[in-house]
A and B are shown apart, each in its own frame.
Chain A
Amino acid sequence: MIKHNTVKATINGMAVEVPFGTSILEAARSVQVNIPVLCKHKDLLPTAACGLCIVKVSGNRKLPRACATALEDGMEITTHDTELTEVRRTTLELILSNHPNACLTCGRNGSCELQTMAGEFGIRQDDIPRYVRDLEPDCSSGSIVMDFTKCIKCGRCIQVCQQMQNVWALSFLDRGINTRMAPAGDISLNESPCIRCGQCSAHCPTGAIVENDETAAVWEELRDPDKYCTVQIAPSVRVALGEEFGHAPGTDVTGKIYTALRRLGFKAVFDTNFSADLTIIEEASEFLERFAHGNGELPLITSCCPAWVDYMEKRFSDFVPNFSTAKSPQQMLGVLAKTYFAEKSGIDPASIIQVSIMPCTAKKYELERTDEMYASGYKDVDISLTTRELARMIKQSGVDFNRLPDGEADSILGTYSGAGLIFGSTGGVMEAALRTAYFKVTGKNLEKEAINLHAVRGMKGIRGAAIDIEGTEVRVAVAHGLANVEALLKEVREARDSGGPIPYHFIEVMACPGGCIGGGGQPYGVSDEVRLQRIKGLFDGDESMALRFSHENPDIKKLYDDYLGEPLGEKAHSLLHAHYKPRPAYQR
């Protein structure tokens, strides 16, 4: 038999030719036909759970599900007709009959896939008796809130948690109508292996899993005349927030965000890119200390991702000595806002409220991770909001975001280099650190095209590269999406245990696929296409900047000269470094 690489068929009378193995759902998209679906997500394998993507195949009396059926040669597919629409409507009504009628007070009001579909299908009746289980929401994690009653059992969160992130906090418990997604046994998320990455919330089609909305707390602080509210925005927020206001993914709206934040009432607007530069200085110094002077374990592993830190402490705690002690940019900026900035501007640090805008739900957890997060004598960062929460605040405030003039950040903690900007992408921390490490070793900067370290860029799950720094080979690896981490660490562990040469000197890990730009707190609708556009936004920004090295950031130099002293010095150590310890995956 001849093996064909493509299959030819017709969809609604239109000829299609797609690669062998393509699902009917995907094939239909290639001829601009969208088949309704609630369970299949572009990132995930089909589960055939929702039953909405049924289609007709000539010669087949059944209605196969388009997400889980491969297109075959000669198939004649009908995706839409009166009968299919009626069957879909009934299915949708059945799903809605197990869903609380609580749209108006739901965290996904306006962004819910189920609500949208009910609207598109013109559901006007609510005749089927409603059965919704009486279950309390799980608010224990502080990062995400799970409301089991809103779950439509699509299985996305389970696949995300188990396969994409390899965390296995969530499972499908029980069966049939009683099925629910929850940690193993009757324990709360906070007692489970959950690392709060929030990818479940970013993939959930409904309001069953949402970020813990803390906008009300921020409004309260902003209203308090005795408080001096300051704010920082993370690298990834600027290339994604625009999506909430109609811009394409990757559009850089930094200037508008600065202006919007001032209009919301923040008295000082800082940029996490600045402290990303600072993290690089400390981390690159730490790397050279370990690499060139043998002070400390190799490989050095990045620790700026709090979900990854939590994962390592729970699952790979034998790597505690390998973790960079340099705090994440969020925490570095927070501590400096309440020490350096407070001193320089003569403001009582007790009155300063520091809010961070992050692409991330785990950043909420990082605020109180250890006592070291209070290094200023106060809680260094008071409240952390996700990109989605900031969008909500801007919309509430009446600010016409798209027509805002561009603003500036406050220079003392706001100037940044392109190296700080790319922190939000997978490989970005590594690239930024290598640019500075190269300078520290050789005394000169990488030039022109060599600044762009293409070897560590891209979307492959694990990327290894050997970087030549004047004859010395530095072996680095980058992993993103936690499912990719295990293989990498096992390779390191085996080499270590057998006494062989270490495969890598420096490893960057980001918990979310694509890095922070694909974070669990980013605007909905993520896919690899969107991730690549956001990454491009960051790297285009880097390329357009005159300042591309963290060590050349003038405000960073001033900070060390005026305040911190030397990298890894005493003051730097007390303010900018943190430690790690093993933690149990299950607390009970």
Chain B
Amino acid sequence: MRASSRKWLHKYSSTLITGICILLFLVYLAFFSGADWSLFREQFLNFEKMEGRYYIFISPLLLVVKISIYSCFFATFIGLCLAVLRSYKIKFFDVTITAYVILFRSIPAMVLVVLVYFALPFVGLNLPSTNSVIMSLSLLFGAYTTEIFRSGINSVEKLQIEASKSLGMNSIQAMYHVILPQAMRVVIPPLTTVLIDVLKTTSIAYVVGVPELIARARQMEGVIGSVTPLIFVSVLYFLIILPVVILSSRLEKRSRKWSNS
């Protein structure tokens, strides 16, 4: 009895100590740190002032979803096309596509969005801000999806291409009927990671004046004199992205298990 309880204590001692530390820290924060918690509640969690204003966030929320869906669609399309083109091993495509990937993997999203929105009008190309964000995000994440699709296509064995050729398929048929369906399985977990990144990066649209969540929150912050809308928006972002994060880590775990067995 005694030995087992000692063992238990040994096993969980670090957990216990951590728990006690956290508890002490919370007690300190709440009572002894001298922080003004009523101020915190009033400024950060003042949902009474937000009442009747939640509808303002509906259209920007839809806008964020729209930008993400469009950008994801275009990025996937770009990635798929370029990866297929690259798989034919033609020198010209090889060089240009690699250059594209390196260029857009290197450029910061913020810089590209600003460049597209503020520089293109000088050559008479006046894109609406939403479209310029969609365009930059598609180009940016197209580079990542190209790499993803390429590794997916590479993961299919060479033998299968030869087999499908010997069945009389041409290279396009082999790509469409044999390689891509198998590549999809490898490709989907990393694609969800791209989806997360796109969702997060849409927030950059704030800089070029797209009326999205942050912009609305900052407006409302000025009106009601409290940061609560900002907190609300960050929770909103969290709630949109978290399901995708969970889905993505599930898929990744499953694919890892699948590849190990």
Partners in one complex: no
Q: Residues of B at under 8 Å CB distance from A?
A: none
Q: Residues of A at under 8 Å CB distance from B?
A: none
